[in-house]
């Protein structure tokens, strides 16, 4: 058999193997192709081989490299992260206050015996809930502002509502 026929048969065999691999699992196919490239030495002469990667540059912060490097050098987070941290801290404070006030009102309500004292506690609880509604409205405005500032790849904050926050604390909306 001459060299042309050998090359032709070898090409046909390789083509058949390639077509067979194309029918199989894609993950295995990619792994096989990479492994084959390693075995053939296709990755041996890459620029920078054996040197550490330069992780300082971030291709995803287009146009803001200087600003981010200055913030990083001065140990400052970006404004949207500071806003997020403040909103989360205020949310945690609100949730702690709801749990604390519910425990106090619930305990007192079961302990009192006169209708006047129960009415006073019911009104006090309702006033506290109305105050929280106002607080939540302000927090939700800040959450909206944060969600507009944040990079789209980062998680948004969800708005709060009193019923969900009371439920989280195991509290009832109406003291009865």
- Look at residue 40 and tell me if it is in a domain: no
Residue 165 CB-density burial (10 A; 0-12 exposed, 13-18 middle, 19+ buried): buried
Instruction: Report how far residue 128's alpha carbon sits from residue 23's, in angstroms, rounded to the nearest whole number.
Output: 66
- Look at residue 149 and tell me if it is in a domain: yes
Q: Supply the pLDDT for residue 62.
A: 64
Instruction: Report how far residue 2's alpha carbon sits from residue 4's, in angstroms, rounded to the nearest whole number.
Output: 6
Q: Supply the pLDDT for residue 24.
A: 60
Give this prediction's pTM.
0.61
- Look at residue 106 and tell me if it is in a domain: yes
- Look at residue 135 and tell me if it is in a domain: yes
Instruction: Report how far residue 90's alpha carbon sits from residue 94's, in angstroms, rounded to the nearest whole number.
Output: 6
Question: What is the pLDDT tens value at each position of the chain, 176 positions in all?
Answer: 577 777 778 888 887 777 766 666 566 677 778 888 888 888 888 887 778 876 666 665 666 777 777 777 888 888 888 899 999 999 999 999 999 999 999 999 999 989 999 999 999 999 999 999 999 999 999 999 998 888 777 778 899 999 999 999 999 999 88
- Look at residue 92 and tell me if it is in a domain: yes
Domain range for 92 is: 79-169
Q: Supply the pLDDT for residue 60.
A: 59
Tokens at 89, concatenated:
């801290």
- Look at residue 103 and tell me if it is in a domain: yes
- Look at residue 20 and tell me if it is in a domain: no
- Look at residue 121 and tell me if it is in a domain: yes
Q: Supply the pLDDT for residue 100.
A: 97
Number of structural domains (the chain) is 1
């Amino acid at each position: 058999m001459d060299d042309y026929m050998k090359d032709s048969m070898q090409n046909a065999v390789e083509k058949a193997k390639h077509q067979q691999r194309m029918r199989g699992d894609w993950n295995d196919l990619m792994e096989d192709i990479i492994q084959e490239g390693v075995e053939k030495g296709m990755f041996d002469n890459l620029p920078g081989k054996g040197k550490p990667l330069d992780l300082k540059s971030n291709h995803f912060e287009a146009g803001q490299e200087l600003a981010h490097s200055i913030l990083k050098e001065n140990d400052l987070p970006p404004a949207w992260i500071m806003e997020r941290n403040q909103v989360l801290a205020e949310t945690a404070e609100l949730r702690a206050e709801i749990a604390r006030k519910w425990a106090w009102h619930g305990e007192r309500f079961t302990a009192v015996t006169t209708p006047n004292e129960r009415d006073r506690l019911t009104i006090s609880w309702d006033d506290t809930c109305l105050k929280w509604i106002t607080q939540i409205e302000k927090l939700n405005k800040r959450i909206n502002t944060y969600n507009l500032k944040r990079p789209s790849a980062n998680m948004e904050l969800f708005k709060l509502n009193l019923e969900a926050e009371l439920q989280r604390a195991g509290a009832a909306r109406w003291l009865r």
